[in-house]
Amino acid sequence: MTLVHPPVTTAPEIPEARGTVSDAVRNRLLGGPGQLPGETEIARCSPYGEDLHLTLHLSYELHYRGFAGVPDTLEWDPDLLRVRALLEHRFESALRHDCRDAPPADEALAALLMEPVDGTGVSRFLLSGGEAWPLREYAALRSVHQLREADPHLWVVPRLNGRAKAAMVAIEYDEYGCGRAERMHSQLYADLMTDLDLDPSYGRYVDAAGAETLAASNLMSFLGLHRRLRGALVGHFAVLETTSPPAAARLAEAMRRTGAGPAAARYYDEHVEADAVHEQLVRREVVGGLLDDDPGLAPDVAFGIAATCLVEDSLARHVTEAWSRGETALRTPSDGRALLPTPTGEARRVGRGAR
């Protein structure tokens, strides 16, 4: 039986602030008084830190579903856009620095086809583990992006031509269920969450997601919203589609092993089949077509691949190190209350790294 939930038409609640910058922007979105942060204050933010990435999330969500109580007119508010530009510059500068030794696009694409020999990574950890709670935590964290799975990549479509555009639309047609709402990958993910006794509401677990999760999600929006970064977004897309099938196969097996339910495994089964085909289309037609039309975008494609690997590796390290200690990978408030309900019989410690 296919699980289909009625569409959520209400916007999510706005997340709690995580520092002075996000507090000021959040306050402005809710109509409160006070000044927005300037260049000096934003320059003090860690480029991969909680305050900066929660603020970017607040800024980007205005282009998706918005927030309850926040006027739609603020989407293009010039003062908020100025703050967003400063945040993006801080984030991009760090990414450019940390990806400065990235290999050329063709080498980077070839490397994506080779799985690491060390046997590490989130999917391997979850497959080998004996408990269900890390699977639930991972599903909650990934919901920040997966409940709008393909949306940021669609922004690149009007910026492509010929083969690249045709192949991109063909792949996205699959992502959106080939015209069937119940088969959209975002809907399949909501069904997965229901099987895991999680709340599938859009934006529900943003407060539980740390900077590593938000950075991975924000990178997609950042690349998608800027035409100058269309090559980098194609590189980002290539990483997700190329590396998905083997990881999805392990996650599907992990769901079955822990008795998560058929919908939980179905989401990953779908990606094993679909992304194996998508990987060929992405490399040959989307990337190949883009670079045939504009060879000068090759460094941008390489940057997109390197930046995506950087933020995804950071997230993977964060969650697996926490789980290896028996600790939650979720953020917790100062009083230590759990942000993700724990089914009876499961237990995990709250460690310093989860705060």
Distances (CA, A) of 249 to 134, 175, 199, 299: 17, 18, 24, 31
pLDDT of residue 245: 86
What are the C-alpha distances in Å from 269 to residues 107, 210, 248, 253, 262? 29, 27, 7, 9, 10
175 within a domain of the structure (yes/no): yes
CA-to-CA distance for 211 and 127, rounded, in angstroms? Answer: 25
CA 308/CA 314 separation, integer angstroms: 10
Locate 313 and state its tokens: 């590796």
Residue 336: inside a domain, yes or no?
A: yes
| Tens-digit pLDDT profile for residues 208-251 | 999 999 999 999 999 999 999 999 999 999 999 988 888 999 99
Q: Are residues 57 and 180 in the same domain?
A: no
Torsion of CA 120, 121, 123, 129, to 10 degrees: 60
How many domains does one find in the chain? Answer: 2
Nearest to 188 by CA among 278, 276, 280, 261: 261
Verify that 170 and 306 share a domain, yes or no: yes
User: For 277, how many CA atoms within 13 A lie in the half-sphere containing its CB?
Assistant: 12
The pLDDT, as a whole number, for residue 350 is: 62
Report the 10 Å Cβ neighbour count for 35. Answer: 10
Tokens of 225: 């919203």
> Is residue 323 within 8 Å of 346, Cβ to Cβ?
no
Pair (79, 111) in one structural domain: no
Last residue of a domain, one of 98, 113, 138: 98
Distance between CA 295 and CA 60 in Å, rounded?
A: 30
End residue of a domain, out of 98, 131, 161: 98
Do residues 272 and 313 share a domain? yes
Q: Assess if residue 7 is contained within a domain.
A: no
Tokens of 184: 């959209």
Residue 231: partners with Cβ closer than 8 Å, 6 or more residues away: 290, 294, 297, 298, 299, 300, 301, 303, 304
Together in a domain, 211 and 290? yes
* Full domain range(s) for residue 173: 105-354
pLDDT at residue 329 in the model:
95
Q: 3 in a domain, yes or no?
A: no
Query: Nearest to residue 54, comparing CAs of 23, 32, 33, 81?
Result: 23
Q: Are residues 217 and 344 in the same domain?
A: yes
Point out the domain boundary residue: 98, 119, 140. 98
Residues 24 and 127 occupy one common structural domain = no
Q: pTM of the prediction? A: 0.91
CATH, residue 228: 1.20.910.10
Q: In 3D, which of 192, 174, 161 has the Cα closest to residue 285?
A: 161
Q: What is the dihedral of CA 39, 44, 49, 51, to 10 degrees?
A: -60
Q: What per-residue confidence (pLDDT) applies to 140? A: 96
Question: Do both 186 and 279 map to the same domain?
Answer: yes
pLDDT tens, residue order, the chain (355 aa): 344 444 445 799 999 999 999 999 999 999 998 899 999 999 999 999 999 999 999 999 999 999 999 999 999 999 999 999 999 999 999 999 999 999 999 999 999 888 765 566 899 999 997 689 999 999 999 999 999 988 999 999 999 999 999 999 999 999 899 999 999 999 999 999 999 999 999 999 999 999 999 999 999 999 999 999 999 999 999 999 988 888 999 999 999 999 888 998 999 998 887 666 788 899 999 999 999 999 999 999 999 999 999 999 999 999 999 999 999 999 975 444 445 655 544 545 665 444 3
